[in-house]
Amino acid sequence: MYVLFEEDGAFKTGHILSEADAALQVESSTGKRSKIKRSNCLYTFTTPAPEALLSQAETLSQEIDLQFLWECAPQEEFDVETLGTDYFGHAPDTLEKTTLLLRLHSAPVYFYRRGRGRYKAAPPEILTAALAALEKKQRQAALTKEWSDQMVAGTLPAEIGEVAVSLITRPDKNSQAWKALDAACTATRQAPERLLLSLGAWPHALALHKGRFLATHFPRGTHFAETTVARVGQELPVAEVEAYSVDDITTTEIDDALSVSTLTDGNIRVGIHIAAPGLAVTRGSDLDALARARMSTVYMPGEKIPMQPDQVIEAFSLDAGRAVPALSLYVTANPLTGEILGHESRLERVAVRENLRHNLLDEAFTEEALADTAQVLPYNDWIRPLWQLALALAKQREHVRGKPENNNRVEYSFYVDGDPNDPNTLVRILPRRRNAPLDRLVAEYMILANSTWGGLLASCGLPGIYRSQQMGRVRMSTQALPHEAIGVPQYAWCTSPLRRYVDLVNQWQLIAAIEHGVSAPLVAPFKPRDADLFAIIGGFEAQYVAWNDFQNNMERFWCLRWLQQQQITTCTATVLKEDLIRLNNAPLVARLPGLPQLGRGQQIELHITGADELALELEARYVSLIDTMIEASDLADEGDAGLATATEIEADQTEPPAAAAVDADASAISADFSATTEAVTPANALATAPPESSNTGSAL
């Protein structure tokens, strides 16, 4: 005796070995024995052989017309044997019953299952709708397969090309386009980005990288709507100073300028003048909403996406020859010892005498030239007292740090001479020493301003957004805490309000402190323990990571392009650790598979075989060992969570350092970048934490 039973949603047959009230012991054709519940049995039979029954019934069931079977079925619930009698015209035998059972079971659109061997025909209106849906699904499946086959054959369907960006940024995995792409990727063993790029969804990898970033973070475009900026600060007094800004030649957002005068007692009075957009961009305003949505200007070689509309930048940038509202810090100090004798903060208008440029002055302002007091330099009466005090201030911080700063490494600046969206555009990568005097000078006074103003906020009982470092841990908070890497008692970003939202927030608080003193907490935009400050910190950190990752990717892309344009096939590199190396002629960090186990700082020669511009990876192989090494101390900021130098942290210059150090805890802000120029940005593609500056670029 044989039995037909259901197990795990499938019909099976077996030879009955023994029976009980609730269960049967059966043996399959393969010899496997199992115990099945009697409730799972449909019926018993003696012929045909169990191994032949299901295969014969499956073949015969395909010959039954479902529409005719549905028309034959009663409207009420029925069992297989009852329908079989009407359909076959006689009581069905085992094979006929099984054939009918398999056909009913295979058509859930036509027949609803109502129990073991029992079914009910679908109502006509429901069947009509279900068949239409099934037909639509089949058409979609056919179209999906057609698209997939086209992509496998090397042709991009127009429908896929239209949504290519969304397929790699926000894919709807239930859509036909994604299913077709997924099937094609499986068939070709390629990632979606690589397959779409090879099919021409983008003209080149550069367009893919930018398109993906813009679609993710700027889905409505990067342009601002027409904006009106109120004329504010016109009643402020004009400062009687001779101020100069120092930036790269491409910089358009000029945040800061410096002035200096020598007092009769030999001390000097330094003015640190910061653009004051906070007078017009007020908390809760439409302009505030625009700046807060971006949190920072986005920099990349050759272009930028500004945080503020052009109208705000034009109104408050410290361009030479016009009086612009500014927040000024005047510091009286002994230039020999660096002792700060007093300071005062003011809201005023400042007319910058001239916008100086690194490109034109770095060769003149060398350490040797500045050390030679008999040599008359350009802007001699301005640069010499500022440099003297900057050296004294740096020495004081160095004493607090307990170790000297390492500013000897070469940095690089990018210049894209043409359309930055064309990968064939010529790119120049120019080396520059990190310890260039103008960089160090400006950085020192930005550190002084950020530390002093952070102290002013704390003394007035006002919360601000601070950056601290204690016991190697870097974090942002609303409390004034020491920053050990810089060597200051507190540190609040205040010097780049045109391009960084945190600085703008702190400027609002500073304006309240200057105007109202100790009563400022009553009128300041942010009161103590204001939850919105913590929300700003969280949003800023998250946004900064995204901006920094994109900047690093773009710099890495142009590094690979530069190597190709210069036709460089062999070069030297420095071992950072394990198989991680840094090229000596470009700010590019890469992994070199197969590299022998070498010491940190060891010099090697490698052969460049190509580049993967989609993965942004250098393709090279190890050639030989060079019998020289770089001191490990000179590499302390690459691949380690070591202390950053203050100059690279707060180098508020326009040409940012290319490979600044980790600010101690990359996980705290893995992308603490801040670039400054449209065409000049630092490079180094694998860095984890950037400089802590208003103008410095990301680090690798």
Contact between 507 and 495 under an 8 Å Cβ cutoff? The reply is no
Q: Tell me, yes or no, whether 51 lies in a domain.
A: yes
What average pLDDT does this structure show over 61-65? 93
Is the pLDDT assigned to residue 238 strictly greater than 70?
yes
pLDDT at 360: 85
pLDDT of residue 133: 87
Size of the chain in residues: 700
pLDDT for position 231: 87
Residue 29 has a pLDDT of 84
Determine the Cα–Cα distance for residues 3 and 23; give it in Å rounded to an integer.
12
Q: Are 107 and 66 in contact (CB under 8 A)?
A: yes
Residues ≥6 apart with Cβ < 8 Å to 311: 227, 228, 229
> What is the reported pLDDT for 116?
86
Q: Which two tokens stand for residue 273?
A: 């003048």
In this prediction, residue 252 carries a pLDDT of 86
Mean pLDDT of the chain: 86
**Three-state secondary structure readout of 115-148:** ECCEEEECCHHHHHHHHHHHHHHHHHHHHHHHHH
DSSP 222: S
Do both 47 and 132 map to the same domain? no
What φ, ψ does residue 20 adopt, rounded to 5°?
-135, 180
Mean pLDDT over 19-38 rounds to 91
pTM (2 d.p.): 0.78
CB neighbours of residue 89 within 10 Å: 8
CA distance 561 to 84: 75
Alpha helices (H) along 252-294? 286-294
Q: Assign 410 a pLDDT band (cuts: 50, 70, 90).
A: confident
Shared domain for 115 and 144, answered yes or no, is: no
DSSP string for residues in 341-394: EEEEEEEEEEEEEEEEEHHHHTTTS-HHHHH-TTSPPTTHHHHHHHHHHHHHHH
Residue 103 and residue 159 share a domain? no
> Domain boundary residue among 201, 235, 257?
201
Alpha-carbon distance of 361 to 381, in angstroms, equals: 15
Amino acid at 587: P
Dig out the tokens for 243 from the structure: 């101020």
Calpha distance 399→423 (Å, rounded): 47
pLDDT at 627: 81
- pLDDT for 241 beyond 90: yes
- The reported pLDDT for the residue numbered 657 is 34
pLDDT band at 635 (very low <50, low <70, confident <90, very high): low
Let me know if residue 495 belongs to a domain: no
So what's the pLDDT on residue 135? 86
On whether both 56 and 154 belong to a single domain, the answer is no
Task: Look at residues 122, 145, 166 and tell me which one is the last residue of a structural domain.
Answer: 122
Checking if the pLDDT of 670 tops 80, the result is no
The whole-number average pLDDT for the span 224-240 is 90
Within-domain flag for 306: no
Looking at the fold, whether 7 and 38 belong to one and the same domain comes out as: yes
Which pLDDT score is estimated for 678?
Answer: 31
Is residue 10 located within the same domain as residue 110?
yes
Q: Are residues 288 and 282 in contact, defined by beta-carbon separation less than 8 angstroms?
A: yes
The percent of residues above 90 in pLDDT, for the chain, comes to: 70
| DSSP tally for the chain: helices H, then strands E | 19, 24
Q: What's the total number of domains in the chain?
A: 2
Question: pLDDT tier at 634 (50, 70, 90 boundaries)?
Answer: low
Same domain (yes/no): 154, 70: no
Whether the pLDDT of residue 377 is over 70: the answer is yes
pLDDT for 496:
94
Domain stop point among 71, 105, 122: 122
Rounded Cα gap, residues 266 and 259, in angstroms? 16
The candidate with the shortest Cα–Cα distance to 670, out of 641, 633, 694, 635, is 641
The pLDDT assigned to 272 comes to 97
Place of tokens 């740090």: 401
Q: Do 113 and 133 reside in the same domain of the chain? A: no
Tell me the C-alpha to C-alpha distance, in Å, between residue 604 and each of 407, 572, 601, 623, 624. Answer: 23, 6, 10, 8, 6
Residue 66, judged by CB atoms within 10 A of its CB (0-12, 13-18, 19+), counts as: middle
Do residues 434 and 647 lie in contact, with contact meaning Cβ atoms separated by under 8 Å? yes
Residue 144 lies in a domain: yes
The answer to whether residues 138 and 196 belong to one domain is: yes
* DSSP-derived 3-state class of residue 6: strand
How many Å separate Cα 27 from the centre of its chain?
61
Domain-embedded: residue 154: yes
Question: What per-residue confidence (pLDDT) applies to 150?
Answer: 95
Q: Are 36 and 50 within one domain?
A: yes
Do 101 and 197 share a structural domain? Answer: no
Same domain assignment for residues 10 and 60 = yes
Do the domain assignments include residue 41?
yes
pLDDT at 401: 86
The stretch 483-493 carries a mean pLDDT of 92
Give the containing element (helix H, strand E) for 23. strand 23-27
Residue 29 structural domain:
2-122
Judge whether residue 640 has pLDDT over 50: no
First CA to last CA across the chain, in angstroms? Answer: 77
**Does residue 300 belong to any structural domain of this protein?**
no
Q: How many CB atoms lie within 10 A of CB 59?
A: 11
91 pLDDT above the threshold of 60: yes
* 380 occurs within a structural domain: no
